[in-house]
Structure 1
């Protein structure tokens, strides 16, 4: 035991010695050391020239300013601490609480102003609405239209007449509260989705053309876009787009600015009489709430987005629904779109479910099941992407699940007669995709060549065709052929955009000579005129290093 005490004494004494030494050195540095500093200054100053004297004075002033600043900061800290503790209360906590209450007051004022504006729209500005004042800040319940205005809410024919004379764009909450459910006094936490219920309550679908073929469908779109919208696309781009829809629910349109990346899905949706919803992605997008919205615990309402509305409306509409994520790589796609990527990977489409809120409330939208909505099979997500300094690189996780379409050149204009839109259901579109797989299966000869290329890539570059790419290949090529393309052209496009693109994530400088050998192998296997996209892509990668 005595040995331990001796050990502890020596250790603790050394710690105390070091601490005292540090404090003493600090005191000598900023307090007692000034005698030595001035002696050195006095010794050298007479021997210095004019410039050196100025610099020496500035140096001394700088050294003097350091302890003065430290002392001032310590004094201010002590004064502030004394003021905060003067009344024996933690004022910092009070300040935070006051800030939180101020935010709640602002939210309540905004809520009150929205309700008042809705009443004005609904009543045509005939009546003056009494000012709620501070009562809006003290009541625990959400104000309804009745207790805000002091008037009884009409019902029956009177309410229907009011709704008919109301601009739905100016008073959506009123219409949702009035028409969304039987109980007109229910405050809906999903007003936008409730309006969708109202829209499709007495909806009469158009006469769908379920006899059209894929080739007629794609050619009809080109004629429609040119004649009615002044947009021109090559047959190759259109068939890649349609075949991409057969291979994946997520398409990424890449290319230089001005080639029609955004207008392609928009005009395609207009061709099907179901205009696309365009979402402008912001650099601030970090998680799913940027797309789906979030539930406000204070106001007890869900902050809905247009993305969420379009997802919900697709459950009603039989026509294919396109949701465009414009400039989708301004933020990291694998952050804000991660949940959707996971949902679309579920093998059963019954599992394509998104949780919005934990429980069901009275007045929730019809198509919502216990706070969840279903991602309809008729929904496609179209992302546009630019590659510049303001964007993020699209990762392999996203590319593997998506079907990339490149638009690097504008199509030539052509004359055509006015062409009408085409009403087609998503079910018939999927039927045409399946029929194409039956009518145009991939030939065994082409699959053997692809297996040889796969073996070559594994041996030389450690690249392989994953199961997901193989599935997309079997879905893409038959539809591509049914739209007027060739089997080899479809294979060429898939290999170039889905397999060889992985070279971009490799250190190609070490395998540059191997790429030359790969181009020769492609010529030998598929012919010199075959696989032009793949060979062009490889040469472009090779020239970068």
Structure 2
């Protein structure tokens, strides 16, 4: 026992001594690196410089500057990495704290509801009634209210009924003038001139060509970019151009589900609290022209939460199935365009979302990006001295025919399809990212319409490639894929030429510099 105690005490002392020696050596290493060695380096330089010539001094100065620059760069990088790590850690901590607070609030809410139910049960018991009987009476009262509402002929949809009365149950027809029956290229030119001359808003022909091609590709469009580049004003100007003002719906940060977007049925009043968004969707069913709903600042809330049903419904190949449930049952007094409690999303309606990338917004996920057309607007268009140009009257059917005609007249060439296939194989093998059927379908639709608007096929392909494929690279660890990016850029040069695919190359260069 005594011998073991001596051994253990010696062991602990030796261990503590080694630990102390470890930290002492670390401290000495830091002292040598930052103080003693620096002094020695300076002394060595002074001793050696006694025999320096002019050329030696020049070389010494250059080398010294390079070394100092390298050390400064290294320190800055370490500082940036530490800063990013601290920010990331802080955000994660804040998220955990927020989730914990939400959990506590949910628990307190459940406790309050339970306490309220107990109090109600006690009051009901004091009145000589059983709680079960009280609940039955309450449900019977609800049913009687609903029956009374039907007997009075009152609709639970006030705003939608007003739309019925406004249109008197008739779908409006669009009568186009001969001068309005123009092609896509003339349509782009006419809008650019109209916007500049009538509204004082300036857009490049490429942006407007991409906008129309985006309309042909998807019913959802996202306009991204810095403030002041005309994201909201573009669909607004389109509404003015087509003689049907675009509806603007401001997305709120608190939006969590579909009720924020569509409204909800008040179980107490038996009335449906309709949103303006629902009214605009409903009204589009009465029209044959082109309709836009602008979701302004759409990523202030999570798009895949409040817009989830629309993302799914608009993916269905059969537009007859584009129906969203508003209420679970149908009443005789419901609006005309509701069938079985469901509302049809008409084909002449587009949802245009504007989005910023800053700390106040949520990241737009691939689920949303893949289903939408995307245009980045980071540069203001230059002033255009446009001639006075009138607006246009055009039906959705005519515009859709223009899109279909473009797809038939300007299909992707075999050379382009082969190049796409080679790109797909390379990207899949090197980056584990693939085009997919949805993206290929969008490219086959977008590029022909883009060409019909007066642009080039390779330019349209570059536009889609940058936004649909390269954008996905942001989720990859590109610091280990620098060589692969260079190989991809070389492959694009070989297939399309060094002057082509400028947007994609510029995007890749930005990604390379950020890692």
For residues 508 and 204 of structure 1, do their structure 2 counterparts lie closer, same or farther at Cα, with a shift above 3 Å needed? closer
C-alpha distance in 1 between matches for 2:492 and 2:283: 47
Match status 1:373 vs 2:343: yes
Q: Deviations over 1:512-532 (max 9, x none)?
A: 222122111211121101110
Match status 1:528 vs 2:498: yes
Residue in structure 1 matched with residue 187 of structure 2 by the alignment:
217
Q: Deviations over 1:495-526 (max 9, x none)?
A: 11001111011111111222122111211121
Task: Choose from 243, 249, 252 the match for 2:222.
Answer: 252
Match status 1:500 vs 2:467: no
The size of the alignment, in residue pairs, is 381
C-alpha distance in 2 between matches for 1:203 and 1:431: 20
Where does structure 2 lack aligned partners over 5 or more consecutive residues?
Answer: 1-114, 124-140
Match status 1:349 vs 2:374: no
For residues 141 and 408 of structure 1, do their structure 2 counterparts lie closer, same or farther at Cα, with a shift above 3 Å needed? same
Residue in structure 2 matched with residue 296 of structure 1 by the alignment:
266
Task: Choose from 199, 208, 233 the match for 2:176.
Answer: 208
Deviating more after overlay: 236-245 vs 449-458? 449-458
For residues 358 and 534 of structure 1, do their structure 2 counterparts lie closer, same or farther at Cα, with a shift above 3 Å needed? same
Alignment check: 8 A CA contact 1:269 1:276 kept: yes
Match status 1:276 vs 2:301: no
Residue in structure 1 matched with residue 403 of structure 2 by the alignment:
433
C-alpha distance in 2 between matches for 1:475 and 1:197: 36
Task: Choose from 136, 153, 160 the match for 1:186.
Answer: 153
Deviating more after overlay: 437-446 vs 206-215? 206-215
Instruction: Give the superposition deviation at 1:94.
Output: 2.5
Residue in structure 2 matched with residue 198 of structure 1 by the alignment:
165
Match status 1:93 vs 2:61: no
Secondary structure of 1:401's partner?
Answer: coil
Q: Deviations over 1:177-210 (max 9, x none)?
A: 9xxxxx9952111111111111112676452246
TM score, norm. by length of structure 2: 0.71
TM score, norm. by length of structure 1: 0.67
C-alpha distance in 1 between matches for 2:116 and 2:310: 45
Instruction: Give the superposition deviation at 1:306.
Output: 1.0
C-alpha distance in 1 between matches for 2:174 and 2:492: 49
What root-mean-square deviation, in Å, do the aligned CA atoms of Structure 1 and Structure 2 show? 2.4
What pairs with 1:99-178 in structure 2 (closer than 5 Å)?
Answer: 141=145
C-alpha distance in 2 between matches for 1:499 and 1:303: 41
C-alpha distance in 2 between matches for 1:367 and 1:348: 19
Match status 1:358 vs 2:322: no
Instruction: Give the superposition deviation at 1:91.
Output: 8.1
C-alpha distance in 2 between matches for 1:382 and 1:346: 19
C-alpha distance in 2 between matches for 1:192 and 1:250: 25
C-alpha distance in 1 between matches for 2:432 and 2:227: 34
Alignment check: 8 A CA contact 1:142 1:299 kept: no
Q: Counting helix residues as a fraction of each chain, which structure ranks higher?
A: 2
C-alpha distance in 2 between matches for 1:490 and 1:189: 48
Alignment check: 8 A CA contact 2:174 2:395 kept: no
Residue in structure 2 matched with residue 509 of structure 1 by the alignment:
479
In our comparison, the structure showing a higher alpha carbon Rg is 1
For residues 502 and 91 of structure 1, do their structure 2 counterparts lie closer, same or farther at Cα, with a shift above 3 Å needed? closer
Alignment check: 8 A CA contact 1:328 1:384 kept: yes
Where does structure 1 lack aligned partners over 5 or more consecutive residues?
Answer: 1-89, 99-136, 145-176, 178-182
